[in-house]
């Protein structure tokens, strides 16, 4: 008796409807020309929380706990590659924590981001449409981790933000924007 693994909701939506819609909308020649969401990365910069080039354990534990809870994966620590005197950063000092999600993990994360986290942002008027790079990758930032329903703010020592990057393959800004809109990403409305 084998258990069947159900596809994530957004992955099924992409495969069943969005991929065909983007091929038709942009007159792409075949399925392999359609943009594909490859990975999602979440990055939390901790450089400003360093105390004499050392990371306080409570800050490290909070960031690790947050990223593990929202991604389902253990984050890695990124260290500074070179010293910058103006920012009081030494080479080798901790500078960020990052987690990279691919496959089903990425689709579940994106679903929770669109359905649960973004609607909880205070005074939300839509995501910026200008945050695409030339390759069609999308970047956004959250100012605090409280927008994630999994995070209990009563148990958190301090509040921190995070950067979220959605990386596409075979894409450009128009294609990626169309795909994300079809998946339910709430972009800001054009002024009329």
Q: List, for residues 60-80, the tens digit of each pLDDT value.
A: 888 999 999 999 999 999 988
Q: What's the confidence (pLDDT) of residue 181? A: 95
Percent residues over pLDDT 90 in the chain: 65
With respect to residue 161, please indicate whether it lies within any of the assigned structural domains: no
With respect to residue 51, please indicate whether it lies within any of the assigned structural domains: yes
Asked whether the predicted pLDDT for residue 56 surpasses 90, the reply is: no
Q: In terms of Cα–Cα distance, which of 105, 119, 183, 184 is closest to 149?
A: 119
With respect to residue 20, please indicate whether it lies within any of the assigned structural domains: no
Q: What's the confidence (pLDDT) of residue 36? A: 95
With respect to residue 55, please indicate whether it lies within any of the assigned structural domains: yes
Count of structural domains, the chain? 1
With respect to residue 132, please indicate whether it lies within any of the assigned structural domains: no
Asked whether the predicted pLDDT for residue 55 surpasses 90, the reply is: no
- Host domain of residue 70: 25-92
With respect to residue 71, please indicate whether it lies within any of the assigned structural domains: yes
Tokens 């301090």: give the residue. Answer: 158
With respect to residue 153, please indicate whether it lies within any of the assigned structural domains: no
CA angle 18, 20, 26 (to 5 degrees): 95
Q: What's the confidence (pLDDT) of residue 21? A: 95
Sheet holding 162-169, edge to edge: 76-79, 94-102, 36-45, 162-169, 138-142
Q: Three-state DSSP class for 141?
A: strand
With respect to residue 38, please indicate whether it lies within any of the assigned structural domains: yes
Q: Is the dihedral of CA 152, 153, 155, 161 positive or negative?
A: positive
């Amino acid at each position: 008796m084998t258990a069947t693994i159900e596809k994530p909701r957004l992955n099924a939506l992409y495969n069943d409807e969005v991929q065909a819609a983007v091929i038709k909308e942009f007159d792409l020649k075949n399925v392999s020309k359609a943009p594909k969401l490859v990975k999602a990365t979440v990055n939390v910069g901790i450089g400003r929380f360093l105390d004499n080039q050392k990371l306080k354990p409570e800050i490290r534990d909070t960031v690790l706990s947050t990223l593990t809870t929202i991604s389902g994966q253990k984050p890695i620590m990124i260290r500074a590659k070179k010293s910058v005197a103006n920012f009081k950063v030494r080479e080798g000092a901790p500078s960020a924590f990052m987690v990279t999600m691919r496959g089903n993990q990425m689709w579940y994360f994106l679903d929770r981001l669109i359905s649960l986290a973004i609607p909880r942002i205070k005074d939300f008027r839509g995501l910026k449409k200008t945050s695409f790079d030339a390759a069609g990758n999308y970047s956004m930032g959250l100012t605090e981790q409280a927008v994630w329903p999994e995070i209990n703010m009563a148990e958190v020592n301090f509040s921190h933000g995070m950067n979220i990057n959605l990386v596409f393959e075979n894409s450009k800004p128009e294609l990626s924007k169309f795909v994300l809109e079809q998946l339910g990403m709430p972009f800001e409305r054009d002024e009329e």
